[in-house]
Amino acid sequence: MNTAIRYFPAFPRISWKPYLLPLALISVFILISAAPEAFAPYRPNKLFDPYMELSAEHILGTDDMGRDLFSLLVYAARNSMLIGFASGALAVSIGVAIGLVSGWYRGLLDDVLMGATDVVLIIPKIPLAIILAAYLKPGPWILILVLGLLSWEGVARVIRSRVLQVRSAEFILSAQCLGFSRWYIMTREVLPVIFPLIVPKFVLMTAGAMLSESSLSFLGLTDTTMLSWGTMISESFTYSGFIRGMWNWWLPPALCIILSILAVTSIAFIHERGRRVVIQS
């Protein structure tokens, strides 16, 4: 007898085939981030001759310092994926918590929280990230914090409006009648119903964070010692990769960024087709 409360609404009986590709792609990227040693032929710091051409030992050649480009690509996946998913998770966690509380309690608390949301909306993300990177100890966590702490307002608003709708539904009144506490109702009755909204939001936040990170790294405004796809492209510019026509340096990371973001956003559409919809009439 299955009594576990469903946070994940039932998957519809649609064909999985169109979505096999993005899921496979994302799994490959996640796998590479988790265990780069298994995929990269060499350690990223191992030096060979610089500017080498494509060959059997160096699939993508080497950069100006003699590091194998394919190994760099594989090791860079970790930071790009980490910053993307961690920022997304942070933004969604804060957004859902605030949206849930705001929509449930309404009144003064709702006004205060939505006011705070408006303030966060005004703060420009990228300039703040730049300034903080300049003043604080560099590293991927600054980026995660900034992107995560400043992106939650979109999530909060959407979740709040959905919670307002669901809150007046009769099954919530039933639950209150039966004597369940407010926290129980919020987490085990309301949350599973709004879950189909959270997943696409999370995925889009992740994609957005990945793009922001790549742009900032490309502009050299993040920690330059951090290895990510964006920094790889940036270095190829700075260290004469473009001038020398070394497409093997900047094209693979660019393709990886594009593919990972595309794969991640495609997943958002799977959950959009979920079947258990609460329609208020």
Partner 1 sequence: MILCADSITKTYGKKKDRVDVLGSFSLELSEGETIGLVGPSGCGKSTCARLLAGLEMPDSGTIEFRGEDIHKMNREAWRNYRRSVQMIFQDPGGSFNPVHTICQSLSAVLAHAGVPRAEQETELERILYTVGVHPEILGRYPDQISGGQAQRVAIARGMIMRPSVMILDEPTSALDVSVQAQILHLLKEVQQERQIAYVFISHDTAVVEFMADRIIRI
For residues 100 and 188, what is the distance between their CA atoms, to the nearest angstrom?
12
10 contacts: CB under 8 Å, gap ≥ 6: 274, 275, 276
Tokens encoding 99: 């949206």
Least CB distance from residue 173 to partner 1, whole Å? 6
Number of residues that bind partner 1 (CB under 8 A): 27
For residues 14 and 5, what is the distance between their CA atoms, to the nearest angstrom?
23
Among 59, 165, 167, 188, interactor with partner 1 by CB under 8 A: 188
Is residue 1 a contact residue for partner 1 (CB under 8 A)?
A: yes
Piece of the chain touching partner 1 by CB under 8 A; list 16-24, 77-85, 86-94, 191-199: 191-199
CA distances from 137 to 131, 142, 143, 234 (A): 12, 8, 11, 21
Of 122 and 178, which CB lies nearer to partner 1 in the complex structure? 178
Is residue 108 a contact residue for partner 1 (CB under 8 A)?
A: no
Piece of the chain touching partner 1 by CB under 8 A; list 50-58, 135-143, 184-192, 239-247: 184-192
Among 27, 176, 238, 240, interactor with partner 1 by CB under 8 A: 176
Of 141 and 195, which CB lies nearer to partner 1 in the complex structure? 195
Please return the burial class of 273, using the count of CB atoms within 10 Å of its CB with bins 0-12, 13-18 and 19+. exposed
C-beta separation of 42 from 71 below 8 A = yes
Is residue 276 a contact residue for partner 1 (CB under 8 A)?
A: yes
Of 146 and 198, which CB lies nearer to partner 1 in the complex structure? 198
Among 17, 124, 170, 225, interactor with partner 1 by CB under 8 A: 170
* Residue where the block lists tokens 């922001």: 212
C-beta separation of 172 from 185 below 8 A = yes
Is residue 105 a contact residue for partner 1 (CB under 8 A)?
A: no
C-beta separation of 207 from 261 below 8 A = yes
Among 68, 153, 189, 235, interactor with partner 1 by CB under 8 A: 189
Least CB distance from residue 223 to partner 1, whole Å? 43
Of 119 and 277, which CB lies nearer to partner 1 in the complex structure? 277
Is residue 5 a contact residue for partner 1 (CB under 8 A)?
A: yes
Least CB distance from residue 105 to partner 1, whole Å? 15
Give the containing element (helix H, strand E) for 48: none
129 alpha-carbon distance from chain centroid: 17
Least CB distance from residue 185 to partner 1, whole Å? 10
Applying the rule CB under 8 A, the residues between 194 and 233 that interact with partner 1 are 195
Among 38, 178, 183, 243, interactor with partner 1 by CB under 8 A: 178
Least CB distance from residue 274 to partner 1, whole Å? 9
For residues 276 and 265, what is the distance between their CA atoms, to the nearest angstrom?
22
**Other Cβ atoms within 10 Å of 120 Cβ, number:** 16
Alpha helices in 106-178 (DSSP H): 107-122, 125-135, 140-150, 152-167, 170-177
Which residues of this chain interact with partner 1, rule CB under 8 A?
1-6, 9-10, 169-171, 173-180, 188-189, 192-193, 195, 276-278
